[in-house]
Structure 1
Amino acid sequence: MAKRRNVSKIMVACEWASCTFKSQSMEELSDHMSLHLKEHLGEGDAMEELEDYPCLWRGCEFLAMGSQSELIAHAHFHIFHSKLKYIGTQLLESHPDLPSCTQDLHSSSLVPDVSEGFVCQWQHCDSSFNNPEWFYRHVDMHAHCTELQPLPDRQQALFCSWSGCDAFFKIKYRLREHLRSHTQERLVACPTCGCMFSSNTKFFDHIQRQAEPEDSLTCGHCDKAFANERLLRDHVRQHVNHIKCPLCDMTCTSLSTLKIHIKFRHCDERPFPCDFCESSFKNQHDLRRHMETHNEGAAYHCTVEGCGYSSRMAHTMNQHYKRVHEDNMVPRYKCHLCDKTFSWCYTLTLHLRKKHQLKWPSGHSRFRYKKDEDGYLRLNMVRFETVEVTEEVIKNMAEKRTPRKVSGSTSHSKEPMLHPDSSNSTPQHSSSPSSPSSSSSTSELLEGTDSSGLKGDETSVYCVLNTVTEVSGDPEEMDQPGGPSGAVRALAAVARGLGMDVV
């Protein structure tokens, strides 16, 4: 086995324009980058206010719009990112048996959006930074200086004093590790694609995902194959919703997903205004896409020979290329109700909503599609949730349900899974875990044990199958392979494939 190298010492190269400077000191590298920025932006009275400021780091096409401070924070993050890529290189050299990353090389110099800079939210501290290295060191110092405090049971603990956090730990290492969830600090980056990771283990997982998957290690829910069992177990957790939004019935697989959902679905704050109109946006990415609408004339032209298509916006040009030159309009999506095919998921979504009057699951914003045995992508009607989350959703549904007459039928204000609109006269049936005894029910709740180690222990999981199909009520038809009981048997097989004991 190769001897593990010491990654405590670094050697980072500056890639600003044609610079060839290298150093082992982050302090020296940061001072060096500051000189580049002073030369690039000017200083004092010589600083010229421009509409945009380009980044000169090799391979980076970032443009700070009207903000010198944004470019300064962005440029210093390049230095920090290079340090993480060096650490990743050292780790790979110490594990020569690992495969090579095959991701897009174009992203190796891309860094995350740091337009807001770095602000410490530790209690009674309002320090701000334009350099991630100093920010992370500053926050780590808070953890280092934190003293043990008494708990009600006479024990002692180290409390996290970050704004809005009440976590506590027994040892400082755990507190320091926890603080990275607030600062989003990453410890290593892939030298090939530039992706950053919060631990060496996650970095190695990223590399191992590039290996040839084993046919025997396949997810029973989405048919994705993996190179080892741990990657498969981690993947299976992503199919289980164990977090519920406190403001609606949306259920999520992670806290980060929940935060994004709340930001875009329940918050009205739009801190990113457009300089050319009255529009404002919730994040920098949406603002940049909007700014392209103010381009005079066509800023983007199709590069395919003989194609004269042009557009003012980059994402419109990307859609054109995929639709016309890449996919050749080959239908990849198929309706599970009428077998009509579509080239794009959004056209199938419109079809399901207008033709079959299907609604989104309660709290969710869009349909999900899954690859079927025949290669087509069809509507995914299976959702896995923990018992606690399911019971909470059912409780909310019971509180919100207000029966009302619509065209001679009863409509409910909330349904947990896909169902036809009650205004549709077609006698289609749906189901809900809250009403399993309904005569039109085509779902079954399978409660078992998830052996994947969700939350670190055994956790009960509800597997909810909802089929939207016409059912005549004939017992013989009910037991056909495509009928409800056949679908439930198929779900039971999926549940067992995910390591759950179905009862």
Structure 2
Amino acid sequence: MIVPFAPVLSTAAVSLRNHIWTHYSEQDKAEAVARGEEVPLFLRKEFQCDQCSRSFSYLTLLESHLKEKHGTGEKAEKEKELCGICGAAVTNLHAHTRLKHTKEEDKKFECGICKKKFAYNNHLQNHRRLAHSNQKPFQCDVCGREFKLLKWMETHRFGHEEVKPFESEVCGIGFSRKQVMKRHISTVHEGKKRTDHKKSQK
């Protein structure tokens, strides 16, 4: 039995193919589908908001839209709790306490490379992957850029979608990343220098 050869497209070839699709008219798209071409995932927009007319390519984008625009969905903003140790207002008090207030003697998992210690094995594994590994298993299907974390790739995808779910409460300008929106408010509306803003984030 002869198995037909299936060519594997390189990252650059996939990126070029996806880019070409962004220039297609509706007629071009219909003709491409008729030829047997597959519509790139980022153009399918199969997830529709049930509260407005917006639709999205990824469920995570829809969830972010629901949270930011309608205050609903599985990722709706939770009530913040005050930490009894440091007074910080946090959405997950248990996780905050584990990450910020674990005693040194409770950190039993040590990195064999840099000797940094962690209270939980999964924190050590995450540290190894982010600090000491070059593996980037999550790839953007539009431009081919690779990321170490899924959430980093999903945040990057907002740029291709032209989705800007994070709006300034002061002027209404939208941003694709929450951190950029916070920096905008700090520097433009509060008059802080970027160095001051960075210090306040630590």
In the superposition, the TM-score normalised over structure 2's length comes to 0.46
* Higher CA-based Rg: 1
Normalized per residue, the structure richer in strand is 1
Higher relative contact order (CA 8 A, sep 6+): 2
Larger helix share, 1 or 2? 2
